[in-house]
Amino acid sequence: MTARKPARNRRSAEQMLVELKDRLREISDLIAAGDVLNWDQATYMPEGGASARGRQLAMLYRLAHERAVAPAIGTLIDALTRYGDSLPYDSDDASLIRVARRKYQKKIKIPADHVARATAHSSASYDAWTRARPANDFATMVPYLERTLDLSREYSSYFAPYRQIADPHIDDADEGMTTASVRKLFSELKHQLVPMVRVICEQPAADDSSLRQTFAKAAQFDFARSVAESLGYDLKRGRLDLTHHPFCTRFSAGDVRITTRVSENDLGDALFSTLHEAGHAIYEQGVSTALDGTPLGQGVSAGVHESQSRLWENVVARSRDFWEHFYPRLQRIFAEQLSSVPLAVFHRAVNKVARSLIRTDADEVTYNLHIMLRFDLEIKLLEGELRVKDLPEAWRAAMQAHLGIAPFDDRNGCLQDAHWYSSYIGGQFQSYTIGNILSAQFYAAALKAHPDIPHEIASGEFGTLHTWLRENLYRHGCKFVPNDLVEGATGATMNMQPYLDYLHEKYGALYRLPASTSDGGRGTV
Amino acid sequence: MTARKPARNRRSAEQMLVELKDRLREISDLIAAGDVLNWDQATYMPEGGASARGRQLAMLYRLAHERAVAPAIGTLIDALTRYGDSLPYDSDDASLIRVARRKYQKKIKIPADHVARATAHSSASYDAWTRARPANDFATMVPYLERTLDLSREYSSYFAPYRQIADPHIDDADEGMTTASVRKLFSELKHQLVPMVRVICEQPAADDSSLRQTFAKAAQFDFARSVAESLGYDLKRGRLDLTHHPFCTRFSAGDVRITTRVSENDLGDALFSTLHEAGHAIYEQGVSTALDGTPLGQGVSAGVHESQSRLWENVVARSRDFWEHFYPRLQRIFAEQLSSVPLAVFHRAVNKVARSLIRTDADEVTYNLHIMLRFDLEIKLLEGELRVKDLPEAWRAAMQAHLGIAPFDDRNGCLQDAHWYSSYIGGQFQSYTIGNILSAQFYAAALKAHPDIPHEIASGEFGTLHTWLRENLYRHGCKFVPNDLVEGATGATMNMQPYLDYLHEKYGALYRLPASTSDGGRGTV
């Protein structure tokens, strides 16, 4: 009897695990089906399809949500907790039970009626914003933003107690981070960046006129796709299509797609948009296929995800080594436009630093300042320190303080990003800067293990870097929380030193810079 | 009291109707979502996506099926039957209740385990066939076909009593038709066609070498799309993409897509494949938008659907009038290839009649003979009159008897079509010939109402024909059973006379033909 009992329990746990996986796979597949419909809507759907498509998408995501909060899932997870604890922490099954529990416990805290109200409000607000932004009409958006703030605070209340009201939102995007930890990180980074931007912008601006000629769209598209493929984006398990707003979407381990846009008069737009999305996709394609169809089978937090789009787009594809290899190819494709533009001029053009009003047009150095001011403002709004009606003026003041320029109108100011007008306020922006910081930290760790990586890049080889990232980061999917993942891969918690070193080295070669004053501002992601 | 009671009942019926429509819309949307995933798989999906896609599709269709046979639907339908009977027969709501009841009662007769076994067997059989056909290996398929026959008979048994075992299968595709009614129709048609084919094939073959030159694929694709649009296919509510096997698929009233293939050395392939699918799509786009998201919101039986693909592809787009308008345009596009080919030669080429082994390559006249022999053989197989192992020989004998040629191997014989290897045996083929017959009957009725239609076609105008078809056929979706629909639109039950008249008139102008001996072979669809 005693000999058989554990065996019987074990069998039963395994059966329950099979049932849990079946249920989770159905949820994952419903979301994937919705994502296919979304991709189609953004790429090929005829305009007549819009209204039925909205209904079909809402139905799929509703079915997925109903299943995700089903009490039967909770029962299975509870019954499997002890079994999970008996397995090695980093095993797939222990991780699955652990992560599924965390996600389930979060989801069931949010009442269904809140989800319905928040979804309906987001749609209405986004719809109003699409008209208000071009009309420069902030006044219309005030009541929407006030309601968004109420809903954002209501959302936080489901996760009480918390230290600060934005914490639940930040944790959703970047698990393990808080208002306080982001603030500490940003304060140190700002201390370094503001003087760097000032010094650079006092020097003559880089000449990027070479990028502003006329370039045939099809040739741009083909070049961007072939570079993405060279970096390691597998087109047998993905594809590149055109859209208004580039994105990356995953339907399964074998089908991770990206989209881009092409501008005839801006050579950088299609290329770097494509490589940014390819970075996200290379991450998703690198997740262990054993995790496919489970909650572990995708990249972890927004910040870590962004680190990979930034690593491939900026650290790799805006490097001098990279262009040593690819610029001659690009010159052959656009001989008329580029044959008389030297590599050094082209490299400086794709790394031009300038004060600008629009976040999405900002360069690598000033970008973080755009993020920080948004982060400050959304915390102040959420905490009631700033009133919605005072947002435009606060925006202008912060732009002046951070970047030394300010917009004349709201369309180029606080109306420019969709985020606050289509989702919650709180936790919407910090991931971009966390991504920048981590991109350098991951790259530095890869370089430490394989110092030859820059030489490989200069020969158009990315295999060593790609393999290191896959082994140390990608394959784990979201088995581990971001802090553990970063520490496991780089041997250190998230810290700014590699990023500051990267900026100083790179922009020190392009501009005269002040000496670094940082101690690295250690923090946790 | 007495004054309020009917009002209360009525309110309650209306509430139930809303609930029924909500449930039916969810089923329709789940199927539409699956259809989007299918379309994507056939057009753009990277090869790596296949295995997860299969799982995702199976899940969506399973959820749709579970909902379609839910007892709650039956309860609602039962409770609404009297209410439906109190409404005008042709009202949308009466039709919805009537059609939903008929579909529900059919579906619940089929046990879930049969569906599971039949689906699994179909997949395995189709997979085996994709290898067996190129290998000319009929022996491998024998046990598969025997199991398919068992499953096909089992399916029929759920609908007992029936007159003949194929009847439930035929009724699924072409409601209201039976083995006996199809046989009667086909026997009369064969009596007319066999001598017509013999006489035509004794004359010199049409010269279609003009179609076999080299034609740039992109220009072919663009021409086919623009002709489809001229016919009335609305690209704001549809689109044309490339696939291996052309098809038409509907996601909603505002999104009905078609696909085609392009062959560089066959000018007819892309064009007529596209116009065939455009015919299906024009029908679907013409269904009243009020029926969208309900079981009424799509074209009716397979035969009526095929009548519209045939009407636009053959009756319209292979007519002399049609090419009076479009041939000069085509000559401008392919000047090098066609400028010295006279219209009469080109028109004869696209209407070339020849004995051939492959159904999908067959011309308009011989096509029906291919269908009839398949219909005869599948009835014989199902009734046990023909053994599976004797099928190849029976095929050769029937080809010889019907068409005067016979294949040397099975890959060009009984292995050529996917139907029996991927679905049931029984009711798989008759719809094609019913479609041909009805295409002429609908066209003749439109012509009777608007004798100017041929002149309009000769000026590239299709509005009068399109409007007549929409008003008399398309807008009704599947509110009415095929027989009623045909009679309502044409003033007569299905009959062959218009089709025989059409063939005699058209091919009499191209070849010397014997005089017609038919009395029209009246029958019901």
pLDDT tens for residues A133-158? 999 999 999 999 999 999 999 999 99
Report the pLDDT averaged over residues B350-375.
Answer: 95
* pLDDT bracket for residue B30 (50, 70, 90): very high
Q: Do A48 and B234 touch (CB under 8 A)?
A: yes
Q: Do B46 and A252 touch (CB under 8 A)?
A: no
Q: Do A36 and B32 touch (CB under 8 A)?
A: no
pLDDT tens for residues B54-106? 899 989 999 999 999 999 999 999 999 999 999 999 999 999 999 999 999 99
- Give the strand pairing for A240-242 and A255-260: parallel
* pLDDT bracket for residue A46 (50, 70, 90): very high
- Using the predicted structure, report yes or no on whether residue A519 has a pLDDT greater than 50: no
Nearest to B255 among A33, A48, A241 (CB): A48
* pLDDT bracket for residue B127 (50, 70, 90): confident
Closest among A367, A365, A348 to A357, alpha carbons compared: A367
- Give the strand pairing for B248-252 and B255-260: antiparallel
> Can you give the pTM of this predicted structure?
0.93
- Using the predicted structure, report yes or no on whether residue A525 has a pLDDT greater than 50: no
Q: Chain B residue with minimal CA distance to A255?
A: B49
Q: What is the pLDDT of residue B142?
A: 98
Chain A to chain B Cβ contacts (< 8 Å)? 125
- State the Cα–Cα distance between residues A513 and A508, nearest whole angstrom: 6
- Using the predicted structure, report yes or no on whether residue B8 has a pLDDT greater than 70: no
Percentage of chain B beyond pLDDT 70 is: 96
* pLDDT bracket for residue B6 (50, 70, 90): very low
How high is the mean pLDDT of chain B? 94
Q: Residue by residue, what is the 3-state secondary structure of A464-484? A: HHHHHHHHHCHHHCCCCCHHH
If interface means Cβ-Cβ distance under 8 Å, which residues of chain A face chain B? 25-26, 29-30, 32-34, 36-37, 40, 44-53, 55-56, 59-60, 63, 234-239, 241, 251-255, 257, 292-293
CA B399 to chain centre: 23
Residues A311, A439: contact at Cβ < 8 Å?
yes
- State the Cα–Cα distance between residues B103 and B171, nearest whole angstrom: 12
Q: What is the pLDDT of residue B424?
A: 96
- Using the predicted structure, report yes or no on whether residue B340 has a pLDDT greater than 50: yes
pLDDT tens for residues A93-138? 999 999 999 999 999 999 988 988 998 899 889 989 999 999 999 9
Residues B178, B163: contact at Cβ < 8 Å?
yes
Q: Chain A residue with minimal CA distance to B250?
A: A49
Residues B363, B380: contact at Cβ < 8 Å?
no
- State the Cα–Cα distance between residues A325 and B410, nearest whole angstrom: 55
Closest among B72, B62, B68, B74 to B27, alpha carbons compared: B68
How high is the mean pLDDT of chain A? 94
Q: What is the pLDDT of residue A517?
A: 53
Backbone angles phi, psi at B222, to 5 degrees: -65, -40
- State the Cα–Cα distance between residues A125 and A136, nearest whole angstrom: 15
Q: Do A33 and B29 touch (CB under 8 A)?
A: no
- Using the predicted structure, report yes or no on whether residue A2 has a pLDDT greater than 70: no
The secondary structure element, H or E, covering residue B25 is helix B4-43
| CA atoms lying within 13 Å on the CB side of residue B97 | 25
CA B30 to chain centre: 23
Classify burial at A345, counting beta carbons within 10 Å of its beta carbon; exposed 0-12, middle 13-18, buried 19 or more. middle
CA distances from A524 to A229, A466, A481, B237 (A): 33, 25, 11, 51
Q: What is the pLDDT of residue A269?
A: 95
pLDDT tens for residues B146-169? 999 999 999 999 999 999 999 999
pLDDT tens for residues A60-85? 999 999 999 999 999 999 999 999 99
How close A111 comes to chain B (CA, Å)?
23
- State the Cα–Cα distance between residues A175 and A179, nearest whole angstrom: 12
Beta strands in A191-334 (DSSP E): 240-242, 248-252, 255-260
Q: What is the pLDDT of residue B116?
A: 86
**Chain length of chain B:** 525
Give pairs for A215-218: CB < 8 Å, separation 24+.
A215/A264, A215/A265, A215/A267, A215/A334, A215/A337, A216/A264, A217/A262, A217/A264, A217/A270
Residues of B with active-site annotation: 277
Q: What is the pLDDT of residue A398?
A: 96
- Using the predicted structure, report yes or no on whether residue B459 has a pLDDT greater than 70: yes
Q: What is the pLDDT of residue B512?
A: 84
- State the Cα–Cα distance between residues B436 and B427, nearest whole angstrom: 16
- Total Cβ atoms within 10 A of residue B514: 12
Q: What is the pLDDT of residue A51?
A: 87
Q: Do A49 and B237 touch (CB under 8 A)?
A: yes
- State the Cα–Cα distance between residues B479 and B294, nearest whole angstrom: 10
- Total Cβ atoms within 10 A of residue A226: 13
Q: Which ipTM did the prediction report?
A: 0.92
pLDDT tens for residues B282-295? 999 999 999 999 99
- State the Cα–Cα distance between residues A437 and A441, nearest whole angstrom: 7
pLDDT tens for residues A396-431? 999 999 899 999 999 999 999 999 999 999 999 999
CA A100 to chain centre: 22
